């Protein structure tokens, strides 16, 4: 059963909340009120494609963690210097997915950095 927490919820939580948080699902209604209900378990198991994509992104995250702090800092600096609305991790994942070398070389040129490429 859904509950409307009213305007006080934004004061208590201090932010606009949306999605699953712990055992709860929250969203803002059309009337701009926070609605909260217990999260429902999925009706179907994940598809094979979902499992493949989850594994892919899990591997990207593992490669990011394994890259070392110096490499991660370079990717973060590149996004800041190139004035991208991304984090270093988001740029890392984007390049891991697309392997768009010309675009990454442009970012390197704009940021005056040479970035270590993620493993294939």
- Reading across the β-sheet that carries 34-38, which strands appear in turn? 3-4, 34-38, 24-28, 19-21
Please give the pLDDT value at position 10: 53
Q: Is 36 helix (H, G, I), strand (E, B) or coil?
A: strand
Q: pTM of this prediction?
A: 0.69
pLDDT tens per residue, range 43-98: 999 999 999 999 999 999 999 999 999 999 999 999 999 999 999 999 999 999 99
Helix axes 88-98, 101-111, angle to 10 degrees: 150
Please give the pLDDT value at position 42: 86
């Amino acid at each position: 059963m859904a509950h409307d927490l009213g305007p006080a919820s934004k004061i208590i939580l201090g932010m606009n909340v949306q999605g699953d948080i712990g055992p709860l699902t929250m969203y803002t209604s059309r009337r701009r009120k926070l609605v909260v209900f217990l999260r429902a378990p999925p009706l179907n198991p994940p598809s094979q494609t979902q499992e493949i994509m989850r594994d892919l992104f899990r591997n990207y995250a593992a490669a990011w963690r394994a890259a070392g702090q110096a490499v991660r800092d370079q990717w973060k600096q590149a996004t800041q210097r190139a004035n991208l609305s991304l984090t270093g991790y988001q740029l890392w994942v984007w390049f891991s997915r697309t392997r768009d070398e010309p675009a990454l070389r442009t970012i390197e040129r704009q940021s005056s950095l040479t970035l270590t490429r993620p493993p294939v």
